[in-house]
């Protein structure tokens, strides 16, 4: 019997890249940058691995998964070779390299891994001409906090070499354990290929009443459901959990085969991109519709005839109905949190339930400390993300199961649940305008000048008359957040103008693009208590606020745009 000789560890000389500062969701770039720029991928992976203290790194376990987008398999091979060379003891990888972001968070927590690497650019398009991203989640299962992102960036700026085992090959299609002997290493390096769904499914079983949901989906009054996995990672999860476990008919799930380019459309679950779902729901044949983004952390809910559930309303409705879910009956509800840009609908629920409400910057990492310290049970963002303290990521399928649980308990459809919620708490009309692909300099100066305008003392006494509406400014600032757990301060988190009738305007420059220019988002919100006025068109209600936003920012004149790319 021939003894296989140990795999050599090689040190490769490299030069640093100046642009490897991770953003809100890790490092996102055009796929061509990762694929075509020599050592670009290797440098960043080395920076991530080197950001972990050497003593913690030796022999530790890490989780690796992807949303299945183009270049993921090639990148996973490099990550495996570099993890081995850098002293990681064990990698747990999803079958075929696939793991949803919530599943990665779940597995990190369950096996007490030191962290995980997720290959995703979320809702950004895939394929050779699309985007690619690398996200590092820490030991609590959540995204890297600012301190870790800064450490990764500092390493990347001075990097001169990386370590790799170029001869190490793994088979992502074979479930089970693979072991490798490395040169100068006492213990073998282990790779475990695991079922992408199983651990996550077990967790959901312990959170929800599967029997109640199955009765809803298979009973005499079952709402026909229509689920669109948008050819991202969620296909296998939808099939296994909603169809096999919970009894939804197989034909109720569409686009369930993960594709490297997501079928040529952005895997973004909103009214602009999930058009086939919207059209199907408008036909009136289905009572419940949902779509997921590429990595499964975002979702959209539609009711009969295409009734759209605003994500800000969705988290508020969930919060008001947590008693329908065994997990919260068992562990109680500690508090709520939302990003500053999300509507204040959740605040009204928190007040009625006498619970704390935390307002954070955009970015899921800010919720982690609140949940780890027992302050917060449920949190949400207006960008179609909701989650709870069961993991440390937003969770699309969990959110859908919350909705199905509420429907099963109330024996009501989506629209009825939403309208009853409005009648009880009032309605927060809300919309978001996205101006994408702006010249970064123009965007920067626009925001700088707008901040100067709203920071002027005279601005807080300003009144705006639009038609028969009069809006008086009550407060205007650049939002900053002081973490109640560790006291860290996050500044420059968005410009906000609050009017004396609780209407709001928010302006944010977004940091989650793939190097395709800058995005400015404008959010408008207006509260309506009177149920007689809950049926109005969102754009009509918010039209006067939008007019004020366009006037004070001069965004069309300054960018040459005639309107936003996307309205949600």
Q: Annotated catalytic sites, by residue?
A: 122
Distance CA 189, CA 362 (A): 38
**163 near 13, Cβ under 8 Å?**
no
Question: Between the CA atoms of 418, 420, 422 and 424, what dihedral angle is there, to the nearest 10 degrees?
Answer: -150
**133 near 65, Cβ under 8 Å?**
no
| Burial status of residue 219 (CB atoms within 10 A of its CB: 0-12, 13-18, 19 or more) | exposed
Q: Which two tokens stand for residue 281?
A: 């729901």
CA 482 to chain centre: 22
Q: Give Rg (Cα) of the chain.
A: 24
Where b means 16+ CB within 10 Å and e means fewer, 489-502 reads ebeebbbbbbbeeb
Q: Which two tokens stand for residue 200?
A: 């996550």
Enumerate residues 6+ apart whose C-beta is below 8 A from 404.
213, 216, 217, 246, 288
The single residue listed with the structure tokens 């419940």 is 288
Q: What is the DSSP string of 41-89?
A: HHHHHHHHHHTS-HHHHTT-EEEEEE---TTHHHHHHHHHHHHHHTT--
Return the closest-CA partner of residue 209 out of 417, 410, 413, 406.
406
Q: What is the DSSP string of 386-428?
A: EEETTSSS--HHHHHHHHHHHHHHHT--HHHHHHHHHHHH-EE
CA-to-CA dists, residue 357 to 264, 311, 360, angstroms = 40, 17, 10
CA angle centred on 107, ends 105 and 109, rounded to 5°: 70
**183 near 9, Cβ under 8 Å?**
yes
Distance CA 126, CA 71 (A): 9
**139 near 372, Cβ under 8 Å?**
no
| Burial status of residue 446 (CB atoms within 10 A of its CB: 0-12, 13-18, 19 or more) | buried
| Burial status of residue 23 (CB atoms within 10 A of its CB: 0-12, 13-18, 19 or more) | middle
The single residue listed with the structure tokens 């459809």 is 413
Paired strand residues for 338: 359, 380
Distance CA 100, CA 107 (A): 11
């Amino acid at each position: 019997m021939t003894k296989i000789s140990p795999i050599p560890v090689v040190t490769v000389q490299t030069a640093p890249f100046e642009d490897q500062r991770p953003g809100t969701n890790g490092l996102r770039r055009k796929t061509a940058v990762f694929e075509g720029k020599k050592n670009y991928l290797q440098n960043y992976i080395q920076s991530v691995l080197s950001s972990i203290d050497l003593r913690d790194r030796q022999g530790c376990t890490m989780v690796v998964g992807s949303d299945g987008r183009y270049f993921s398999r090639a990148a996973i091979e490099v990550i495996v070779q570099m993890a081995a060379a850098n002293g990681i003891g064990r990698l747990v990888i999803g079958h075929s390299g696939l793991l949803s972001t919530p599943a990665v968070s779940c597995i990190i927590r369950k096996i007490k891994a030191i962290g995980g690497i997720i290959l995703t650019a979320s809702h950004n398009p895939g394929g050779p001409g699309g985007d690619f991203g690398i996200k590092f989640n820490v030991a609590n299962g959540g995204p890297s906090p600012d301190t870790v992102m800064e450490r990764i960036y500092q390493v990347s700026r001075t990097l001169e070499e990386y370590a790799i085992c170029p001869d190490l090959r793994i088979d992502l299609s074979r479930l089970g354990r693979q072991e490798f002997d490395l040169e100068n290493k006492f213990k073998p390096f282990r790779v475990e290929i695991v079922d992408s769904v199983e651990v996550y499914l077990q967790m959901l079983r312990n959170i929800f009443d599967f029997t109640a949901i199955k009765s809803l989906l298979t009973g005499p009054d079952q709402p026909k459901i229509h689920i669109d996995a948008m050819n991202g990672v969620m296909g296998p999860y939808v099939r296994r959990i909603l169809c096999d476990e919970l009894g939804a008919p197989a034909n109720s799930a569409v686009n369930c085969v993960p594709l490297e380019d997501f079928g040529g459309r952005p895997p973004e679950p909103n009214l602009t991109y999930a058009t086939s779902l919207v059209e199907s729901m408008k036909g009136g044949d289905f009572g419940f519709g949902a779509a997921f983004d590429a990595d499964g952390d975002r979702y959209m809910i539609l009711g009969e005839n295409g009734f759209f559930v605003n994500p800000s309303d969705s988290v508020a409705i969930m919060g008001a109905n947590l008693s329908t879910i065994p997990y919260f009956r068992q562990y109680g509800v500690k508090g709520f949190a939302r990003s500053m840009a999300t509507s204040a609908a959740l605040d009204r629920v928190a007040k009625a339930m006498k619970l704390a409400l935390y307002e954070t910057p955009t970015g899921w990492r800010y919720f982690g400390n609140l949940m780890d310290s027992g302050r917060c049970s449920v949190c949400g963002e207006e960008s179609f993300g909701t989650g709870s303290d069961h993991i440390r990521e937003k969770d699309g399928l969990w959110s859908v199961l919350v909705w199905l649980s509420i429907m099963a308990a109330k024996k009501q459809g989506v629209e009825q649940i939403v309208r009853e919620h409005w009648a009880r708490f009032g309605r927060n009309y809300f919309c978001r305008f996205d101006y994408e692909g702006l010249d970064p300099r123009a965007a920067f100066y626009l925001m700088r000048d707008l901040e100067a305008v709203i920071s002027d003392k005279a601005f807080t006494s300003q009144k705006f008359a639009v038609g028969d509406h009069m809006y008086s400014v009550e407060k205007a600032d650049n939002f900053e957040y002081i973490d109640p757990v560790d006291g860290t301060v996050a500044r420059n988190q968005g410009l906000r103008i609050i009017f004396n009738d609780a209407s709001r305007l928010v302006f944010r420059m977004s940091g989650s693009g793939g190097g395709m220019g800058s995005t400015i988002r404008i959010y408008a919100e207006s509260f309506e208590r009177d149920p007689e006025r809950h049926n109005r068109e969102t754009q009509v209600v918010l039209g006067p606020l939008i007019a004020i936003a366009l006037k004070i920012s001069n965004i069309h004149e300054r960018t040459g745009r005639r309107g936003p790319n996307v309205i949600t």
